Amino acid sequence: MPILASADEEDPMSPRGVPIPDVKERLFAAAERVLAREGTAGLTNRSVTEEADCAKGLLYNHFTDLDDFVAQLVLDRFARIAAELGPLPDRAGNGTVQENLTLAALTMLGANGPVIAAAAVSRRQVAQRVADAWAGGAPGPGAVEEAMTRYLQAEQRLGRVAPDADCPMLALALTGTVHHLLMHQGPGPEDGAALIGRLVAALVGTPATAAGAP
């Protein structure tokens, strides 16, 4: 019989009684694999814990219920994206504006972004918890949009974005399109990349590489 995990987060246990490091991330990664393979209908406590190869009670030692688990998964992944794109303004003057914005948008989309977003909107309580957390200041699309705005404004000061460009609206258009792709599971990864490249080109044109930039 599997050994149930301790409620103490410092001593979560696998079925063989071996402590699992970073148990929440292990469960989150398992959930992503389940979602990619089986869709939202296949996401259950049992499917996640079996995928993670740990005791079935482990998930409920760290999350109040499955809705809490999915909400925390969504918030964690968006927080990671926001942290990754936070330094985007520092890229001003390097590469091209189009390359930098395209990479940022593809980072938002991510490999598992659409299935995680689908899990959020498929569960009403999850969507509400995520929305409440973002309204309370948790890093999410708003933080990404702000980073893009600051990046565009920095490029504008360098003369690589038109002086009359509305940088906040450009950032909104780009993040809004990626949000649409996430929510509606639009094109596949390759098609999504092509679409984002076209969108960025339409928004900011094809600026030249900064002098002396790599």
Q: Show pLDDT as tens, one digit a residue, over the chain (214 residues).
A: 333 333 333 344 444 444 455 889 999 999 999 998 988 889 999 999 999 998 888 899 989 999 999 999 999 999 999 999 999 999 999 999 999 999 999 998 876 788 888 888 888 889 899 999 999 999 988 899 999 999 999 999 999 999 999 999 999 999 988 888 777 655 455 576 788 888 888 888 754 433 334 3
Backbone phi, psi, residue 39, to 5°: 80, 180
Please provide the distance, in angstroms rounded to a whole number, between the alpha carbons at the two ends of the chain.
58
Backbone phi, psi, residue 13, to 5°: -120, 145
Report which DSSP code applies to 13: B
- Entry pTM: 0.78
CA 198, CA 196: separation in Å to the nearest integer?
Answer: 5
Q: Are 62 and 40 in contact (CB under 8 A)?
A: no
